[in-house]
Amino acid sequence: MYKRIPAHIGIIPDGNRRWAEENGLHKKDGYAYGVPPGFLLYEMMVEYGVKEATFYGFTKDNNKRAVEQRDAFTKACIDAVETLANRDAELLVIGNIDSVAFPKELLPYANRRVRFGRNLIKLNFLVNYDWAWDLKKGMEQGDIASADISRIDLIIRWGGRRRLSGFLPVQSVYSDLYVIDTYWPDFKKEHFHEALAWYQDCDVTLGG
Amino acid sequence: MYKRIPAHIGIIPDGNRRWAEENGLHKKDGYAYGVPPGFLLYEMMVEYGVKEATFYGFTKDNNKRAVEQRDAFTKACIDAVETLANRDAELLVIGNIDSVAFPKELLPYANRRVRFGRNLIKLNFLVNYDWAWDLKKGMEQGDIASADISRIDLIIRWGGRRRLSGFLPVQSVYSDLYVIDTYWPDFKKEHFHEALAWYQDCDVTLGG
């Protein structure tokens, strides 16, 4: 169906709070609605032969938000990772575990790849991630903290913002960015097809 | 006229070769047509009170192109910097000067800020820039090579591609990216207004 499938897709599932407000809920309540779309997207990526995917969970900067929002997005991340841990995937959680904001439930998956079932896809989650921390590890230890995550071909962002928001600066240097205006909890399968269709015509030259 | 003016704008002037082909010229001939629009844009940025601007000249990866193209984009960069050296600006050229691809004509402006006339704007040019080299300096010397360039608020890219192509990964982590489909040599003043108008509604939260 598609001539070119990106080997590695980055997912920025933004707009959970705006979605909640539009639907008469508290901001914090949006995050839980962001978990089920992640599984749908996981299944589509496996079906279409994507080899690696990275989900933007939450960042150090997100921790500046109200405490009930922090609790809610942390829980959503735990739920997402724990459910995917029962699927076929090689799971890797990257984030600063030396901070209290890192959920202890995810320590078993932190900074090392854990295989579940058949190795259908590499799945990475950024949890309490911080781009400056990622690069600083490189300065201190010779390799960035996210060194096990490969270069990203296509980034799909929901919620309309046209920016990376600190998402893996090294792996994103040549990524094509496709932005969907719909808020993430309203994810539709068509969004993935839209992004893939757009990607067919991206002229990937890597500067050459 | 505008409520918010980005303090620092990044400029990715892409599409010179595609423009040349569409106009019956050789690919290499497009670059020279990319110099005059830079001055128009410089003048508009000064007029609207932009404090700092960074132009993407060429990168290490661009050096993979045909030699006549390399010669042409190198000459365009020299012309652009030397002409702006006679305007009111603090000029800074960032790039790897330890490579033969770095034009010796620009050594006087390399890796140190040089002031001309009145200090109306900080103008940065990336010349023989390489994102990996930039970060590697940080690993070796504690600070990235482009440390004198500040965080970028708005990046405007001409030529339709929706990606950063290795443009200052650290300074671009939270930048809003506005893409104009027109090729750079066909720059119009309206493009700058379009980008500023769009930027008015960007909700800058820096993750909070």
Chain A hits for B59, CB-CB cut-off 8 Å, are: 207
> What's the average model confidence in pLDDT over B40-67?
95
Q: Between A and B, how many CB-CB pairs are < 8 A?
A: 87
Q: Which of A164, A171, A202, A206 to mutate to test the interface with B (most CBs of B within 10 A)?
A: A164
CA B207 from chain centre, in angstroms, equals: 26
Does the pTM exceed 0.80? yes
What lies within 8 Å, CB to CB, of B16 at 6+ separation is B30, B31, B33, B34, B73, B183, B184, B185
This model of the complex carries an ipTM of: 0.94
Cα–Cα dist A185/A40, whole Å: 11
pLDDT in tens, A21-71: 999 999 999 999 999 999 999 999 999 999 999 999 999 999 999 999 999
> What's the average model confidence in pLDDT over B49-60?
96
Give the distance from residue A167's alpha carbon to the nearest chain B alpha carbon, in angstroms: 7
Q: Report CB contact under 8 Å: A174, B161.
A: no
Chain B CB within 8 Å of residue A16 CB: no
**DSSP state string for A67-94:** HHHHHHHHHHHHHHHHHHTTSSEEEEEE
Cα–Cα dist A207/B166, whole Å: 9
For residue B138, pLDDT over 80 is answered with no
pLDDT in tens, A154-191: 999 999 999 999 999 999 999 999 999 999 999 999 99
* Residue that wins the pLDDT comparison between B127 and A207: B127
Q: Which two tokens stand for residue A81?
A: 């990772």
Contact A176, A154 (CB under 8 A): yes
| Residue B183 banded pLDDT, cuts 50, 70, 90 | very high
Burial of A31 (0-12, 13-18, 19+ CB in 10 A): buried
Helix (H, G, I), strand (E, B) or coil at A51: coil
Alpha-carbon torsion angle A176, A181, A186, A188, nearest 10? -50
pLDDT in tens, A126-163: 999 999 999 988 777 778 999 999 999 999 999 999 99
**Lowest mean pLDDT across A133-142, B19-28, B165-174:** A133-142
- Give ∠ CA A51-A55-A56 in degrees, rounded to 5: 150
Give the distance from residue B147's alpha carbon to the nearest chain A alpha carbon, in angstroms: 14
For residue B139, pLDDT over 80 is answered with no
Contact B76, B34 (CB under 8 A): yes
Chain B CB within 8 Å of residue A146 CB: no
Average pLDDT, chain B: 94
> What's the average model confidence in pLDDT over B122-141?
91
pLDDT in tens, A13-23: 999 999 999 99
**DSSP state string for B148-207:** TSPPPSEEEEESS--S-TTS-TTTTTT-EEEEE-S-GGG--HHHHHHHHHHHHT----TT
pLDDT in tens, A107-116: 999 999 999 8
Q: Report CB contact under 8 Å: A174, B165.
A: yes
Contact A183, A19 (CB under 8 A): yes
B175-196 exposure pattern, b = at least 16 Cβ within 10 A, e = fewer: bbbbbbeebbbbbeeebbeebb
For residue B205, pLDDT over 90 is answered with no
Q: Which two tokens stand for residue B43?
A: 């003048």
pLDDT in tens, B100-130: 999 999 999 999 999 988 889 999 999 999 9
For residue B203, pLDDT over 90 is answered with no
Cα–Cα dist A57/A91, whole Å: 14
> What's the average model confidence in pLDDT over B57-66?
93
